[in-house]
Structure 1
């Protein structure tokens, strides 16, 4: 592979923003890809994949490069040189890349690969936490979470079928296949920019991981019900609920962030999901108005996102023990307050995209042991681990409010 100066400079600029300015990798990459209109899909692919790759393996590469945070530009070039060397790429004779000790880099890689925290490129505290909470599978999970995430689409059944979508994508030179056990999912055989397709613009699908697609289904919704999605965000699961309900009944999508709900409105129009109503949560009154009024409630709770590190690798560098403690308190509060929306005989799903028991089953058990929780019973729960599913890590628990 021949390295092109303008593409590599874009990568270095992106890494500087992510590592030193605490910017989110997805936003940085999005912005970088718009930098030069002359770049083709291969150029953009190189930038996106290289940035994500270096972010994913930051700890390992920085250790090999013998640099410490905060990284100046010289440090970032050294990290890049490690990345290129380990991929067998011949480094050009640029002044930014000093003569690179290829043999030493490979020797250090072999040596550090024997130590899990370097091999899997994970902060010490997070590695220790994972071993405490998931001792039997932590090693396998880390390896799975360092794999590149597949591109999975959810077929919008309000407008098309799986078979028709696969055919339409094929007409746009995108190969996709069905996924056994996921009725509305199709997976791309090769990565492609699906957002540029006519099928996307016509609202025939959403990009949504296979594990995430199981959450709305777990809620056991029926057409005509009143369903509340309490932490809707930009509404991936609200849209799925609307489709499962065949546009009949009402989906109330709520969030504390009004700008995310605006994005949901736009997505709902494109998807032809007419039964979604958005409501910004501005105070506890907005929740109280709905007490005991919903047939179904989805709490897709804020979490560490440890189950989705394969698509958000920068999250592991932004997390801290303090954040974990704070988010667990938030989860408990949300479960306690939003469960009051469920009417007697109604059902609730508590879900996270984390694999930590402290954010998952332990939160549900703690809730059930409280006074408010005594009105509920646990019907079933499910842990989805990336090492066994090949998709994102998720947890979901279905609770029923007693009559």
Structure 2
């Protein structure tokens, strides 16, 4: 691979914003990719993937390069040189790469890779927490899997097409996909591609949604004609899946505390041809209380640490703080206590997170079931999805039923 100066400069500019100014990596990369209309697909892929790579391995590369935060541009070029050397890319004769100790870089990599928190490039506190909650053997495998680049997975919108028809249409555009056993509406891209530019996406034939995330709506056991409440709907990835499973029959009430996310959900629902979704912004507890005992199904896709989705959000490792993980557990329990009251007698509730920590998952369910609010519910089943076993995001989901 030959390095191009303008592409490398874009990566350095992006890393400056992410590491030194706290900007979100996905937003920074979106902006970078708009820089030069002449860039082709390979140029854009280089900028996106290299930026994500250096964000993912920040701690390891900084240790090898012997630089400390806040990183000035020279520091970032040294980290870039580490990335290129470890990838086997020949460094060009540029000022930034003068006196790069190629052999020393490889030696330091071998030496530091013996220490898990450095090899996997994570903060000390996170490494300790992961081992404490999952045990040494499982955590070692899980954090390695969470550092792999995520596949691009599509969820076929069955309101508008079938898996076979979409697969054939994408094939005609040189986008090849594989069917995933046990994921009824999923297609996996064989090679990364900008699927958002396709007519199929613009016409609402699919959404991009990880395979593990697709399990949640299925877990909810929805049927056409039901009244379903998605309590933390956000921009509606799971809401739209529920709508397709309900064949547009019945009612879905999508709630969220952020009105701007619900606006995005409305836009996506229109594109998807999902007509049975009503959005309600949670501006006070009245919105929740009006729905007490009214829903056949309630989904609580709870706010969480997001540790299960580090593959697609590698900068979360550096933004996440121990006190946030503690605070979010209290929020999760409060939401469970309050939102569970929307389930009518005989109805069902799914509690889900994109975390792999038992303290955010099964322990929250145990606490709820032994509480006053939870005594009317029985545990039906749960699914602990670990990235190193599934090959997809880490997720948790538990199905509860309100007793007769």
TM over 0.5: yes
1:151-162 aligned within 5 A: 151-162=152-163
Q: Distance in 1 between matches of 2:295 and 2:51?
A: 44
Deviation at 1:97?
A: 2.7
Aligned to 1:170: 171
Is 2:96 aligned against 1:109?
A: no
1:247-266 aligned within 5 A: 247-266=248-267
Is 2:182 aligned against 1:181?
A: yes
Give a deviation string over 1:188-233, Cα, whole Å, max 9, x none: 0111000011110111000001110000010000000000000000
Q: Distance in 2 between matches of 1:31 and 1:249?
A: 40
Gaps of 5+ in 1: none
Aligned to 2:68: 68
Deviation at 1:7?
A: 0.4
Aligned to 1:339: 340
Is 2:52 aligned against 1:82?
A: no
Is 2:43 aligned against 1:43?
A: yes
Q: Distance in 2 between matches of 1:119 and 1:57?
A: 8
Structure 2 residue matching 1:74: 3-state secondary structure: helix
Deviation at 1:177?
A: 1.4
What is the TM-score normalised by the length of structure 1?
Answer: 0.99
Deviation at 1:42?
A: 0.4
Q: Distance in 1 between matches of 2:288 and 2:259?
A: 15
Aligned to 2:212: 211
Q: Distance in 2 between matches of 1:380 and 1:119?
A: 36
Deviation at 1:98?
A: 3.0
Aligned to 1:372: 373
Deviation at 1:96?
A: 2.6
Aligned to 1:132: 132
Is 2:283 aligned against 1:282?
A: yes
Give a deviation string over 1:58-83, Cα, whole Å, max 9, x none: 11000000011111111111110110
What is the TM-score normalised by the length of structure 2?
Answer: 0.99
Aligned to 2:237: 236
Aligned to 1:307: 308
Aligned to 1:34: 34
Aligned to 1:55: 55
Aligned to 1:271: 272
When the two chains are superposed, the root-mean-square deviation of aligned CA atoms in Å is: 0.7
Q: Distance in 2 between matches of 1:345 and 1:64?
A: 58
Gaps of 5+ in 2: none
Aligned to 1:297: 298
